[in-house]
Copies of this chain bind each other. A is one copy, B any other.
Amino acid sequence: MISDRMAKLLERSAPMSNMYTEGARMKALYGVENVYDYGLGNPNLPAPDIVRETSVRILNETDPWYLHHYMPNNGFIEAREKIAASLNRRFGESYGIDNIIFCTGAAGGINCLLKVLMDPGQEVLTFAPYFGEYDRYADNVGCTLVAVPANAPTFQPDAKEMAKYITEKTRSVLLNNPNNPTGVVYSAQTIREICDVLAEKEKEYGHAIYLISDEPYRELVYDGAEVPWIPDFYKNTIVAYSFSKSLSLPGDRVGYLAFANDVEDFDNIVYGVAVAARIMGFINAPSLQQLVVAECCEETVDISFYDRNRERLYAALTEYGYEVAKPQGAFYMFVKTPTADDKLFAEKAKEYRLIVTPGSGFGCSGYVRLSYCVKYETVEGSLPAFQALMEDFTKK
């Protein structure tokens, strides 16, 4: 008696759910410490102490009516001011409160934004491999996600290739940098080329193509990598940010959308997103969390912890013969499987108590994603398993 539409969505999400169930089963069977679970992107670092301190202070010092009341749907004014000031300082912007809308994580913000930008039957463009939920986000508003095929082995999107996938129906582009699932940071050159093509296509079709830059991993970069600030390259940019990873607050559901000053139809879009948040049932990002992250927006978790996992895992996997584009951001590694069938590889991996996610869920088969936001001991413990698994496939 669930809707036909939802039944299909559940079918599609079944492999992911089975993976979690299987992971839980294996942990019960072998013990948590004997299962190497690289499945989920659930940060394993605790939020920095400043989050607790700030939360307690705000709870103790703020009039409880004010703290918990319905603020404007786009968020507390003073919190939006602080976010704008931080972006102005960091990226040389001149944003005010109207440029910022608090949302329930980047996911909530993107869904509200698509509701405002997209009519049914239109197309959202993205680059494979991509965060698998993008398919559903486009589907939620009756649209299709069109993915530009992966550009292995660097996974830097190819702007010329992208041009072939843009049609009159393309009204928005979802770009995820640093990227989930590859951990690759799209370079300034990549971004410039993409934006140049988009600007040409805007002229060609005579309407805006909005670039939604999904940046929950902006702060998680290594080797001094720089994440280009997209509003510097493209007028119609909206940045979707989340504090889920930078502050390890995924359960808190708080992030923001930042609208570049020259976004076409700025007023209607910004107002539309606030209305969308209301009518879709979000209403606003949680109030306490808005005030907390506004004060902590330039803090981050200790990224050296993820970096240590990254270095160890990358060195070992390449030594065992795996092909990997060395990630410079996020906490993911996208590993080419020694068989074209990534699902088979992921199944086989379970025999070695390894849990990995098939790349086909990210629109790119022949790879698996490892989420290395795990304990260092898990990384160390998993290495013989990865080695044996490779031998298993190569001896065949």
Interface residues of chain A, those whose CB is within 8 Å of chain B, are: 1-7, 9-10, 13, 17, 40, 42-47, 49, 51-52, 55-56, 59-60, 63-65, 67-71, 104-105, 107-112, 115-120, 122, 133, 136-137, 139-140, 142, 171, 207-208, 210, 248-254, 264-265, 268-269, 271-272, 275-276, 278-289
Contacts and interface: CB of A to CB of B under 8 A. Distances in A.
A281 B110 contact: yes
Given A55-B59, A111-B280, A70 B40 contact: yes
Closest 4 CB pairs of A and B: A251-B287, A136-B279, A111-B281, A107-B281
A252 B208 contact: no
A315 to B, nearest CB: 27
A1 B269 contact: yes
Contacts of A280: 111, 140, 280
Contacts of A69: 42-43, 248, 250-251
Contacts of A10: 268, 271-272, 275
A63 B60 CA distance: 20
Contacts of A117: 1-3, 6
Nearest to A108: B281
Interface of A is mostly: helix
A12 to B, nearest CB: 9
Given A47-B64, A68-B251, A111-B280, A2 B116 contact: yes
A126 to B, nearest CB: 16
B64 A253 contact: no
Looking at A69, A105, A268, the one whose CB has the most chain B CB atoms below 10 A away is A69
A251 B71 CA distance: 7
Given A46-B64, A287-B252, A281 B6 contact: no
B6 A105 contact: no
A123 B51 CA distance: 45
A251 B67 contact: yes
A280 B13 CA distance: 14
Given A71-B251, A286-B253, A289-B286, A46 B65 contact: yes
A249 B47 contact: no
A249 B42 CA distance: 28
Contacts of A43: 69
A325 to B, nearest CB: 26
27 contacts: A1-B208, A1-B265, A3-B119, A7-B268, A9-B272, A17-B271, A40-B70, A42-B69, A46-B64, A47-B65, A47-B67, A47-B68, A51-B64, A55-B59, A56-B56, A56-B59, A59-B59, A68-B248, A69-B248, A70-B251, A107-B281, A107-B282, A108-B283, A111-B280, A111-B281, A250-B283, A251-B287
Contacts of A281: 104-105, 107-112, 137, 282
A141 to B, nearest CB: 8
B70 A264 contact: no
A285 B253 CA distance: 8
Contacts of A276: 6
Contacts of A142: 142
Nearest to A122: B3
Contacts of A119: 3-5
B64 A59 contact: no
